[in-house]
Each structure stands twice: as C-alpha cells, then as structure tokens.
C-alpha cells in the first residue's frame, strides 16, 4: 500500500532532489522514521488518510483563500465520509480550508496574517520557499497560490503534518510538501531558498540566535527572510522571558522588543531589515470554533484587563519583519 510505505507521499520530492543535498530525505520521511516518532494516534491518522474519498476537484483557489473543489464534485456519501474523516484531525488551529464546500473553520484566521505581509515581501512567483514551523501548511499553500515554484514546510508536530496530508490529498500536483522535522534536523539544501518564513516560531526556541543562524543557512544570497513573532514594548536589549507560561503556552522562552529583534538580526548578518507590521491579536483572528473547541485567546487574557494575559504579562502583540542575506 503506497500510503503505508510512503506515508507522506513524497515520491515527487525525492525525485526532484535525487542528486541534490536533499537526497537523504528518507532519513526524515520514511515509514520507519514516522513510526519512530511513536505517536499513539498515528495508525488511526494514517488509516483516515487512506480512507479519504478519491474525489477530483473541479476548481482550486489558493490565491484568495484555500478553496478546493465544490460539493458537486462528490456524492453525498463521499462528502459525509470526508467530513467525518477531517474531524478526526481536530484541533484545526490554522486555516480556514474549504474542501468541496466543507468549511474547516480553524482557530486562527490565518489569511489575516498573510494579507498583512504579502503586499510587502518579494513576490513569490517562481521562488523556492521554505516555511519553518509551518503548522498544517496553510501559508505554504497560499504561497503556491502566488505561483511559488516549490514550497517545503517543516513541522515536527504530527497532527499538523497529518492535516496537511489530508488537504494535500486534493492538491496532488501542486508543488507543496511538508517534512515532519524541526529546523535543526533539516538535511538541506542550504543556501538554496529564495524566501524563508519563520512565523510564530522564534519565541518557542531556547536559543533565538541559533534559530536565526539556522534560518540564514537555508537562504541563498540575496534571499529574503520573513520573520513573524510575538513582541513586547521595551528598549534595545530587552526581551521578556516568562517565569512559567505565557498566554497559557508552556514553551515561550524569549519575547523580544522590536529593537532587540532588529539587533539579533543584525548580529546574525542580516541586512535591509524592515518592520512591516505590528498587530495586537484580536478575537476575530484567534477564537474557539467547532473545529478547535479547546482553549483559545479568550481563555488566555485577563478577563478584566484585556491588555494583560492571565499570567499578568503584556497581551499578545505580533510583529512581522523582513531581512535579507547580502548578495
Ligand atoms: C505558533 S505555530 C505557527 C504556525 C504557522 N507558522 C503560523 O504562522 O500560523 C508554531 C509552529 O512551529 C513549530 N516549531 C516550533 N519549533 C520548531 C522548530 N525548531 N523547527 C520547526 N518547527 C518548529 C511548532 O510545532 C508549531 O506548529
């Protein structure tokens, strides 16, 4: 069974990189590697992927949203089966996705972030894109909608990898792929990508500088980094390290001021650093839905003072920066 021996269906990518530095893909994508991740739900998820109805979408829009096919492409039984299978991958945090008119209303309206950055970055057409910490691949799929040549996402959290696989099932010929690994495990190619995204990732790193150095290694000369992160008010040099959780998240290590972030980028050798946007996260962008019924922003903020998290820290404020590698 193809889906079992090649659980992530990466044949095309293997072929593409046969003689390149990415030829060692097997080490991080084979059935053995996926099994070694030893996730209890994996057999159930792989089974669900196998059962996805083989429907062919009559239309695909990845440019203004992620909308694949419509309900007239499938029978009622197929639509019911699809809806049930997609629910096995709850929680859907990033999205939304519309598959054959089934609306996966995710926790995050990820298109809002995309709209904030897209007008300001190098056009993605014909570019090779790496999306580090891509979640279920929503932004990478939108990059394909902008005619990127190749998009590779890196994401260690398996349920998001599975969500991507479910959507990708209906985007078989589109050049987006996801590797179930952390950036630290990326086997290359290095000095290769035209655009590298790191969005919502750096504050989860114990060493943000190491993260920036690794991102830099993946970019070709003249390539562009798109860095999105939580930030706090503060002077150059200041960053917040929560004593414990931040907005209920247990794994937040450094939330820098914008000036500190610029300084980190400069120290790592990036140039042409620009702040594109800052935005306080609002309930319309992050909220509980039927497809993500667990705690969300409303549970993470102080109920009386919404400018604070429930831990009494500054409420989430996010910035998007771009930076380049010198030519
Ligand atoms: C907050 S989510 C952001 C998802 C998406 N980039 C977005 O902007 O909506 C951060 C993701 O980064 C992943 N992640 C954390 N550290 C990582 C690392 N070192 N390499 C690759 N992914 C990482 C997490 O598993 C998580 O899914």
pTM over 0.85: yes
pLDDT of residue 21: 60
User: What tokens appear for 262 in the block?
Assistant: 């610029």
Is the pLDDT reported for residue 298 higher than 50?
yes
State in Å: Cα 156 to ligand 1 middle: 8
pLDDT by residue (tens digit) across 132-143?
999 999 999 999
- What percent of the chain clears pLDDT 90, i.e. is strictly above it? 86
Domain that holds residue 33: 2-324
**Count of CB atoms situated within 10 Å of the CB of 41:** 13
What kind and span of H or E run contains 277?
strand 271-280
Per-residue pLDDT, averaged over 46-64, amounts to 96
Instruction: State how many domains the chain has.
Output: 1
For the Cβ of 227 lying below 6 angstroms from any atom of ligand 1, the answer is no
Question: Residue 293 belongs to a domain with what CATH number?
Answer: 3.40.50.150
Nearest CA to ligand 1 atom 1: 200
Q: Work out the burial of residue 193: count CB atoms within 10 Å of its CB; fewer than 13 is exposed, 13-18 middle, 19 or more buried.
A: buried
For the Cβ of 199 lying below 6 angstroms from any atom of ligand 1, the answer is yes
For the Cβ of 154 lying below 6 angstroms from any atom of ligand 1, the answer is yes
**Count of CB atoms situated within 10 Å of the CB of 1:** 8
- pLDDT category at 3 given cuts 50, 70, 90 is very low
Ligand 1 probe mutation, 109, 117, 204, most atoms within 8 A of CB: 204
Is the pLDDT reported for residue 23 higher than 90?
no
> How far apart (Å, rounded) are the C-alpha atoms in residues 315 and 308?
4
Nearest CA to ligand 1 atom 14: 133
Q: What HEC string does 50-113 produce?
A: HHCCCCCCCCEECCCCCEECCHHHCCHHHHHHHHHHHHCCCCCCCCCEEECCEEECCCECHHHH
User: What tokens appear for 55 in the block?
Assistant: 């429907």
pLDDT of residue 5: 64
pLDDT by residue (tens digit) across 170-215?
999 999 999 999 999 998 889 999 999 999 999 999 999 999 999 9
Contact 66, 98 (CB under 8 A): yes
Contact 52, 96 (CB under 8 A): no
pLDDT by residue (tens digit) across 121-161?
999 999 999 999 999 999 999 999 999 999 999 999 999 99
For the Cβ of 262 lying below 6 angstroms from any atom of ligand 1, the answer is no
């Amino acid at each position: 069974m193809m889906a079992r021996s090649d659980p992530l269906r990466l044949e095309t990518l293997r072929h593409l990189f046969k003689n390149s530095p990415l030829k060692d893909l097997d080490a991080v994508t084979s059935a053995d590697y996926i099994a070694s991740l030893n996730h209890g739900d994996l057999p159930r998820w792989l089974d669900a992927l196998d059962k996805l109805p083989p429907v062919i979408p009559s239309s695909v829009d990845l440019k203004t949203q992620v909308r694949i096919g419509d309900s007239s492409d499938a029978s009622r039984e197929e639509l019911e089966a699809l809806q049930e299978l997609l629910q096995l991958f709850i929680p859907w945090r990033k999205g939304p996705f519309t598959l054959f008119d089934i609306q996966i209303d995710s926790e995050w309206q990820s298109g809002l972030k995309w709209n904030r950055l897209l007008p300001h970055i190098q056009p993605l057409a014909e570019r090779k894109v790496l999306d580090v910490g891509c979640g279920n691949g929503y932004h990478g799929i939108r990059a394909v909608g902008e005619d990127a040549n190749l998009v590779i996402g890196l994401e260690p959290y398996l349920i998001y990898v599975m969500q991507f696989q479910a959507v990708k099932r209906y985007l078989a010929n589109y050049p987006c792929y996801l590797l179930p690994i952390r950036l630290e495990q990326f086997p290359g190619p290095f000095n290769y990508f035209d655009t590298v995204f790191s969005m919502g990732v750096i504050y989860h790193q114990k060493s943000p500088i190491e993260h920036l150095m690794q991102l830099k290694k993946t970019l070709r000369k003249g390539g562009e980094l798109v860095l999105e992160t939580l930030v706090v008010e503060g002077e150059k040099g200041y960053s917040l390290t929560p004593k414990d959780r931040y907005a209920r998240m247990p794994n937040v290590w450094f939330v820098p001021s914008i000036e500190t972030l610029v300084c980190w980028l400069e120290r790592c050798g990036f140039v042409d650093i620009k702040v594109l946007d800052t935005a306080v996260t609002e309930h319309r962008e992050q909220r509980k839905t039927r497809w993500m019924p667990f705690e969300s922003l409303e549970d993470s903020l102080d109920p009386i003072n919404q400018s604070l998290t429930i831990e009494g820290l500054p409420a989430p404020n996010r910035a998007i920066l771009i930076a380049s590698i010198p030519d």
